[in-house]
Chains A and B, each alone.
Chain A
Amino acid sequence: MRKGPVSSGSEPGEQRDANLKIAIVDESAVRAAILEDGLREAGFTQVTRIEETRNLLARIYALDPEVILIGLESPSRDTLEQLFQMSRVVKRPVAMFVDQSDRASIQAAMDAGVSAYIVDGLRKDRVTTILDLCISRFNAFSRLQTELDQAKGALEERKLIDRAKAIMMKAKGLTEEEAYALMRKTAMNQNKKIAEIAQVVITAAELLG
């Protein structure tokens, strides 16, 4: 990953980049916070999260950001598109961050689930760092989300198996190891997961108990 704009030193415009006003519009408050942290670590000091999207244009107007980052799950993206047209609603016209020469980065942004808008006249290369950072944080967030879902799923499965073991130990006088071995053998024979067999045991016990 590229370094942030401040760390690299003394070229003209560096200081201005650190002061770029950035607005984040995201349905996910956690992800927005992660992105904000990332931008601040990279040296951007003026980062604002807009969580409440009612009256979005008025909020944007008041903030007057140079860069707007928005998650693709936000239906308010269409509201932002109005910024292309309404010079009286915003102080400066806004354009979508699109660059025909850089299709790959646009595709990467769409895949990650984010879109960027910049004020007219802002050089696109000044925004590349922000967009790259945004893409990597969005991707990291969705990896975390997947891992969290998997971890939750594993915990649920563990609970099911423990309950089924208890039922079998009581009903058939088995030891814990025997109960588990029997479920595992059944699962293998039926080409199913142990958790599925455990669910069947629990359901059967509820029906018959």
Chain B
Amino acid sequence: MTNSNKDVLEQNVSDLIESGGEAPKIAGVARTRIREGLVAKFAVATAEPARVKSRRPLFAIGLGFAATAAIALVATRFVHHTGEVAPLNATVQKLADGTTYIAEAGTEVTVLGPRKVRISGTALLDVAPGKGTFVVETQHGRIEVLGTRFVVEGLADKTSAAVVRGEVKLASSDGEVVLHAGEQAVAEPGRPPVRGPAPRLSHLVSWAQQARHAEEHDIASHHGTLFARDPGVRSHPPWGMEYPLPIAKLGLDITVEDQVARVALDQTFHNDAPQDLEGMYRFAIPPDAALQRLAMYVDGKLTESAVVERMRARRIYEELVYRRVDPALLEWAGVGRLSLRVYPLKAAEAVRRLHDHGAAAGRRPDGRADGHRGAAQGLRQLRSAVDESYDHDRAQRRRRGRHISPREREARRFVRAARPRHAASRDRGDGQ
């Protein structure tokens, strides 16, 4: 090849590369998701026992991470969880530094210092951030909060920890492991701590749910009210034709899986009126949330809904109301707003429960889930589920074919209407 040809070739190569521009890159969220998936699968499955560093000054090391310490330390039993529920009289206790905890029955929490406690049993803690490393000692282990929320159990024969968010370090005389979100570890005497995935974190902390809800009662105030009205459209001063029903029960559960935070909200309302009512439940969803699903539990059996054209859905709904069959109609009511109609809310003692599944935005400053409000009342237990999925990765949603932008959603004016599969006669007979 001559020098001239070489120059041409070099120039063409340069031109080609320049014309190529930036190569396609994997989306940031997908990149993270895949990395975490690989780490969870291979780092755990083949991990060697943690390094033995019995003489290592753990506290000094912990201080290095102290600057990252944030909020919320949750401590609870999660190994051999027996499903105990925290007693209703369990209350949130507060330490001098602002850290709070909820202790399970029989648990001893001893304050050893301003940022140091000893736990024998199971407790759920919220550690105040920015005040140095928070240390939890158990009989056979020591946990240093490196950031945010985790779960710990201190028993006589072992210490366990699981991380809900952020990082913690679980150390014993035989070694130490740093746990990241979604991981758990067990430390037993004579063995280094063993780390693994914690796929059921929400279940592990569920025992403290009631106590937490009691503390976080302000959540309820964010979730609105179920309005009811007579089918006969009579007036209810001072509310007009629609009036709010009292809420009898509220439950909230949050799980995080594959970058998707899902919120399950249970709300039970009571109908004091002497006649059946129709429920009107309006709620807002986060800007990037996507509604995934509407289903109803009828006599314990899940009944899926269908997506149909708006006016057709309304006709179906009205017809079912007329026939006294249990329908539910979910309508798009503008950007970020949805309206759910359910019928009937049975009179008097009847209870009807609505169960929402939503996805935590994860963007709310307080870290709580934005969710839905539910309502209803009936002669038997009736659960309706609304799944709202909030996905940080839009590409992931497109892949699943469920991503709909607010503009697209409004344009489509989609309507989801319940399509009960049970026989109308059976429902009418169920009216009792």
> Do A and B associate with each other?
no
Chain A residues close to B by CB (< 8 Å): none
